[in-house]
Structure formats: structure tokens, C-alpha cells
Structure 1
Amino acid sequence: MNVSLLLILLLVGAIVTYLAGDKLASKVALFFGLASLGCTIVLLNHYNLGENISFITRWITQPNVSFALKADGLSLAMVLLTTALTPIIIFSSFGNEYKNSKAFYALILFMSFAMTGTFLASDGLLYYIFWELALIPIYFIALIWGNGDAEDRKKAVVKFFIYTLAGSLFMLVAFVYLYLKAGSFLIEDLYKLNLSSSEQLWIFLAFFLAYAIKIPLIPFHTWQANVYQKAPTVGTMLLSGIMLKMGLYSVIRWQLPLAPLAAKEYLPVLIGIGIAGVIYGSIVALRQKDLKKLLAYSSLAHVGLISAGTYTLTLDGLRGSVLQMIAHGFVVVGLFFVAEIIFRRYETRTIAEMGGIRAQTPKFTSLFLLLVLASVALPTTFNFVGEFTVLYSLSQINVWFAVLGGTTIILGAYYMLKMFQYTMLGETNKRIFADVTANEGITLVLIVAVLFFFGLYPKPIIDLITPSLEEILTQINRIN
């Protein structure tokens, strides 16, 4: 099966959604979102049967650029995350009204198209093009349909756009240099290069700047909280659930195999940056009064731990990081959706103005509690599997890395349960909190079901990603 069909389906979906008009746009977008998920499952089945589902054709003669897509276990896992969350995100938005909704939903599908292309691209220039394309729809989604004062929203979004674009330009320079050395942008040709330690250092730093901003890692995180707060909830879901995974995935796919000597030399520093994000994000989250900002800093803490796991350069570290990427994608989308449900009824995101919701909607409270417990990595949840594996890999490097990284469990449990207490418990708010609608309930149940199913049975995903990660580790260890 031709893997490019998935990209064609998403791109056609974006066009058809726009042409369908405002009344039908949401339903058409949901149809194409579900169709892309079905297509991904078919691709996964072909891959499991041992079929080659990669695609390559010459695109540009000079320079030598190919339209090359590679579907291995790692890329398919990330594509599955993208195509599973896209229809969930679209469906979750049905409780809101959007002006020019045809453009809004078309941009969501176009962003899914670009992110899917980023995960599948195996030509450096093609990968860079998809990487940058993903930035365009989220810019307009946040700018046009965002929250709060228009001027403040514009400042936050423009800062994010320029910040991310500037970092990516360094990555483009690195690709051009690699092309001059290899005569090709194809990843297998770039992997064959024998770069000196100084060359690898500069390549590593160029990629690091692009990825550290996108993930984000401290001190490159300053755009995150404001954009998460100002963007509409759908935009925040796309950013936190999928887009930041592009940076983490790219560390594993591109940065580490191309510059392993630099990664090994600065391993303690890189792990330290990730762990610093865990501690910083958790402490700042404790002080937040806005629910979306609290969740934004919570996400910063979690991705810091994921990043630390990737830089251990161990199979357990890489595997745990990928598992945690997928788990984090679902749980953070669920948590931001909870914040949106509360906002629909109370028209506030200030935690102090909430409270007493449990007495009015015990079902909603129960689903919210399950998401909170998944976020703090309760055993039997998907997050526990990834987080435990990452902490184990850190202990293999240095037990103090595991101890410091493990603070995410303690601090995370404290600020998440404290937040749950202030929003759900206490005296009943004077305003009526209507029970969840069918749309809201289905969305939350689907997310919770995924988190607990793979928390109890993660083997399918582990079996899917492990061979690809072993190949990448072989490439990393090729040069000692």
C-alpha cells in the first residue's frame, strides 16, 4: 500500500472541508479525520504483515531532492497518535461556535497533514518543508480564533511564530551542510556520513535549537504558556497533544543518529536540561491561578522528563520516551478539554472562581479524576508505563538523575490534586454546572479508555516501536 495515500487523504480533506461551507465543515472534517485514522490502521496492518509501505520518487533534480516517505514502527506510532487525536479534537469542538468554521476545520486537517508528513518524511528537505508547514495553520488558528485581548493574542502568537521559525533556520543550514557532504538529503545517505567530532557538535547544536524551541525545553519555553492560554482549546490541544511531539520525535530520528558523538559528550548536560524543566515546570505550575496556564506548565514538566529519557541513549530511555509521548498526547488533550468544558459553563479559567462541581456532576468529576490520576502516572495508566521506563533508564546513567526526575511524580501529584480539589470539591458554586453532553462524555470516555487500555496492555505499541529504536541505537553506536 502506498503510504502517500494518507497524506493525499488529509490534504483532500482540508480542501473539501473548506469547500463544504460553514454548516457542513465540522462534519466533513470529522469524516476525513476518521478516514485518516482508518487509513493509518490499514497501513499498520500492512506493516505488521512485513510489507514495505515506504514511498520514494525523484522530486527535484538540482539539488537532489526526493519525495521520500518512510513508514517504520516509530513513524507509524507517531502517525497513529496524530490521526487518532485529530478526529477526537475535531469532535470535541462541536460544542463551540466558530466564525468562518470552514476555514477553521480546514486548517485543522491541513495541520494534521503537515504533522503526518513530518513523521513520515525521510528526505531532509522534505522533512523541513513539512516541519515549517505545520507552523502556518496553528498560527492562524491561534491568531483568529484565540482568546482574550486581540493585541495580547497577536503578540503571543507572533512571538511563537518568529521564535520557532528562527530556530528552524539553523536546522535548514545544518541540512544544507549535510547535503554538501553527502550529495543527497535522503536519511539513509546522511546516516552513512562520517563527520568529525567538531562537525557533529555544530550539527547537533543547530538541530537542538530548533527542537528545544518546539518541544519546548527551558530556557526556550517562554512562548509556551501564553500561546497555550491565548489559543482556542482546539489549538492548544494540537500544540500540546501532537505538535510538540514533532520535536521529541525528531531528536530520536534525526539529531541523535546524525551527531552521536556530541550527544554522548554532553549527555549529562542534556539530561540535566530535561530534569531542570521537570522541576521548573512543576514549581511554576504550583503558583498558577489560571487553569490553562497550570496545565501548560504541567506539560512543560512532563516533556522535560521525556527529553531526559531520549538523551540517555539507551533502549529503555528511547522506548520509555516514545511511550510517554503517546500517553502524554492523550492525557493532555483530555485535560485541556476538561478546562474547555468548565469554561463553557462558567466562562472563566480562574481556579478560585470554580468549586463545588462534584455535587452537581459526579460523572464529569469522575472522568476528570481519572485524567488527573493518569497525568500523575498512577499504576495501570498508560503514563505510568512510559514514566517508569524513563526513570529506570535515568537510574542506569546515574541514580540521582532518576531521583531528581522522579520529583515529577511528587510535585505533579501535589499540584494536580490541589487543582482538582479547588475546581471540583468545596462549596457548591452559585452558578449551575450542567452535566456533560453526549459529545463531551464520548470524548472523555474515549480518551480515558485509551489511557487505561494501554496502561494495562502496552505490548502492541512496545512491539511496534522497539525494532525501529534498536536500528536507531545501532546507528548511534556506529561511531564510538
Structure 2
Amino acid sequence: MNVSLILIILLFGALVTYLAGDKLASKVALFFGLAAAGCSIVLLNHFNLGENISYISQWITSPKVSFALKADGLSLAMVLLTTVLTSIIILSSFGNDFKNSKAIYSLILFMSFAMTGTFLASDGLLYYIFWELSLIPIYFIALIWGNGDAEERKKAVVKFFIYTLAGSLFMLVAFVYMYQKAGSFLIEDLYKLDLTVNEQKWIFTAFFLAYAIKIPLIPFHTWQANVYQKAPTLGTMLLSGIMLKMGLYSLIRWQLPLTPLAAKEYMYIFIGVGIAGVIYGSIVALRQKDLKKLLAYSSLAHVGLIAAGTYALNLDGFRGAVLQMIAHGFVVVGLFFAAEIIYRRYETRIISEMGGIRSQSPKFTSMFLILVLASVALPTTFNFIGEFTVLYSLSQINIWFALLGGTTIILGAYYMLKMFQHVMLGETNTKVFAYVTFSEGLTMIIIIAVLFFFGLYPKPINDLITPSLEAILNTINKYN
């Protein structure tokens, strides 16, 4: 099956959505989002039947650049995450009334197109192009449809755009350097390069700067909280649910296999950076008064743990990181959507101005509580599988890494349950909390169902991603 079909659906969908006009834009976008998700499932079935899911065509003669796409278990897992969450995010926005809605929904599909291309590209320059293309739609989504003071929003969004673009330029230089030695940007050819330790250190650093900003990892996180707060909620969902996974995925796909000697030398340092993010993000989350900012710093803590598991350079670390990427994608989208539901009724994101929702909407309170408990890795939820596997992988390196990384569960439980208490409990609020609509309830139920299903039965994802991760580990260990 031609893997480029999914990109065609998303790109064509973005165009049709814009031409459909404002009244039909959301429904047309949802149709194409679901079509892309359906195509992803069909690709998965073909992959499970043993078919080679790839496409390659000569694109530029000099330098030699190919339009090369390839889907293995790892990339398919990320493509499924992207297309399914894109559909959920579009559905969640049905309660919003956007000006020029045809533009924002077409930008969502275009961003999904670029992110999907990033996960599928097997040519370094093509990968870089998709990586940069994903910045353009989120820049306009946050700038035009964001909230808060226009000047402050502009500063936050421009800082994010320039910061991430500048970091990516180091990655481009690294690709150009490797092309001069390999004569090709194809990932298979780059994997075969016999780079010296010094060369690998420079390339490792160049890739790290691009990925650390995108994920983000401390101290490269300074753009995150403000952009998450200023962006419209669907933009925040795209950033936290999918876009940051591009950086985490790229650690496994590109950085570590291309620079295995440097990765092993720097292992303890970057595990430490990840764990520092866990502790820092959790402590700062405790002090937040804005609900979206609290969730932003909570996300920072969780991705720090994922990065630490990735840099552990063992199968459990890789597997746990990918499982947690997917679990985090669903739970963080659910939490930001719950915050949006509250904002639609109370028109505030300040935690102290909420409270008393439980007495007015017990069903919504129950769903919100499930998402909170999933976020803190309650057993039977998907997040527990990912976090436990990552912590187990860290214990294989050093038990102290696992103990320090485990603070995400303790601190997370404290600030998330404290937040739940202030937001949902207490005396009945003077503002009326209207009943949850059908689209709102359906969105929440879908997310919760995914979290419970894979929390109880993660085997399908394990079976899908493990062979790809084993192959990448073999590449990393080729110098042993």
C-alpha cells in the first residue's frame, strides 16, 4: 500500500476544508481527520500482514534528495496517535465559535499533515522539511486565535517560533555534514556511517538542541508555559498531545542511532537532565494559579521522565518511553479539554475562581477525576504501564534514577489532587455550570476508554513497536 495516501488525504482535506466555508469547516475537517485515522488503521493491517509500507521517489538530483517515506511499527504507532488525536481535537472544538473557522480547521489538518510526514520520512532533508512545516500552522493558530493580551500573545508566539527554528538549524547543519560523508540523506545510508567519537559528539549536540527545545527539556523550556496558556485550547492540545512527541520520537529514530558512542558517553548526563525536568516541572506546577499553566508544567514533568527513559539506551526504556508518549498524548488532551469545558461556562482559568462543580455536574466531575488519576499513573490506566516501564528501565542503570524519577508520581498526585479539590469540590459556585453537551461528553468518553483499554491490555502496542525498537537498539549497539 502506498504510504503517501495518508499525507494526500490530510493535505487535500486542508484545502477542501478551507473551500467549504465557515459553516461547514468543522464538519469537513472532522470527516478528513477520521478518513486519515481510518487510512492509518488500514496501513496497520497491511503492516501486520507483512507488507512493506514504504514509498520512495527521486525528488532533487543535486544534492541527492528522495521523497522517501517508510512505516515500521514505531512510526505507525506515532501516525495512529497523530491522526486519532487530530480527529478528537477537531471534535472537541465543536463547542467553540471561531472567527474565520475555515482557516483554523484547514491549518489543523495541514499541521497534522506535517507531523505525520515527520513520523514517516526516511530521508533526512525531507524529515527536516516536514519538521519545519509543522511550525507554520501552530504559529498562526496561536497568534490569531489565541487568548489574553494581544501584545503578550504575540511576544510569546514569536519567541516560540524563533527559538524552535533556531534550534532546528543546528540539526540541518548536522544533516548536511553527514550527507557530505554518505552521499545520501536516506536514513539507511546515514546509519551506516562510521563517524569518529568527536564527530558523533558534535552531531549529538546539534540534534539535542533541536529536540530539547521542541519537547521541551529544561533549561530549553522557557517558551512552553506561556504559549500553552496563550494559544487556543485546540492549539495547546496539538502542541502537548502530538507536536512534542516529534522530538521524543526523533531521539529514538534519529539522534541515538546516528551517534551511539556519544549517546553512551553522555547517558548519565541526559538521564539527569530528564529527571531534573521531572522535579522542576512538578515543583513549579504546585505554585500555579492558572489551570492551563499548571497542566503545562505537569506536562513538562512527564516528558522529562520519557526523555530519561529514552536515554537509558535499553529496550525497556525505549518501550516505556513510546508507551508513555501515547498515553501522555491522550491524557493531556483530555485534561486540557476539561479545562476548556470549564472555561466555556465560567470564562476563567484561575483556579481560585472555580469550585463547586461537583454539586452541579457529578458526571463531568467523575470524568475529570478519572483523567486526573490517569495523569498520576493510577494502576489500570495507560499511564501506569508507560511510567512503570520507564522507571524499571532506569533502575537497570541506577536505582537512584528510578527513585528520583518516581517523584513524578508522588508530586504529581499531590498537585493534581490539590487542583481537583479546588476546581471541582467545595461550596456550589454562584456561576451556573451548564450540562455537558453530547460532543463534549463523547470526546471525554473516547479518551477515557483508550486510557483504560490500553491500561488493561497494552499488548497490541507492545507487539507493534518492539521489533522496530529492537532494530534501532541493534544499530546503537553495533560498536559493542
Under a length normalisation based on structure 1, what TM-score does the superposition of the two structures give?
1.00
Name the CA distance, whole Å, in 2 between partners of 1:379 and 1:82. Answer: 25
Partner Cα distance (1:171, 1:141) in 2: 25
- 1:124-146 deviations in Å (ceiling 9; x for gaps): 00000000000000000000000
Provide Cα deviations, 1:9-68, integer angstroms capped at 9, x if missing partner: 100000000010111100000000000000000000000000011111110100000000
Aligned to 1:456: 456
| 1:139-195, Cα deviation, whole Å (9 max, x unpaired) | 000000000000000000000000000000000000000000000000000000000
Structure 1 position 311 matched with structure 2 position 308: no
For 1:215 and 1:452, how far apart are their aligned partners in 2? 26
1:11 aligns with 2:11: yes
Matches within 5 A, 1:57-456: 57-456=57-456
Cα distance in 1 between the residues matched to 2:308 and 2:109: 31
SS at match of 1:57: strand
Amino acid at match of 1:251: L
Name the CA distance, whole Å, in 1 between partners of 2:326 and 2:144: 29
Percent of residue pairs identical: 85
How far apart are the structure 2 equivalents of 1:169 and 1:68? 21
Q: Which sections of structure 1, spanning at least 5 residues, go unmatched?
A: none
Give the 3-state SS of the residue equivalent to 2:478 in structure 1.
coil
**Stretches of structure 2 lacking an aligned partner (at least 5 in a row):** none
Cα displacement string for residues 330-373 of structure 1 (whole angstroms, at most 9, x for unaligned residues): 00000000000000000000000000000000000000000000
**1-side partners of 2:170 and 2:387: how far apart?**
31
Taking only aligned residues, the RMSD between alpha carbons, in angstroms, comes to 0.3
Distance 2:476 2:198 in 1: 16
Output one character per residue of 1:53-107: Cα deviation in whole Å (capped at 9) or x when no partner. Answer: 1111110100000000010000000000000000100000000000110000000
Give the C-alpha shift of residue 246 in structure 1: 0.1
Offset, 1:479: 1.6
| 1: CA distance, partners of 2:410 / 2:469 | 30
Please give the alpha-carbon distance, in whole angstroms, between the structure 2 residues aligned to 1:29 and 1:245: 22
User: How far, CA to CA, are the matches of 1:426 and 1:385 in structure 2?
Assistant: 33
Q: Which amino acid aligns with 1:395?
A: S
Q: Return the letter of the residue paired with 1:290.
A: D
Corresponding residue SS for 1:55: strand
Counterpart position of 1:56? 56
Q: Which digits, 9 at most, give the CA deviation of each residue in 1:312-341, with x for residues without a partner? A: 000000000000000000000000000000
Q: Secondary structure at the match of 2:479?
A: coil
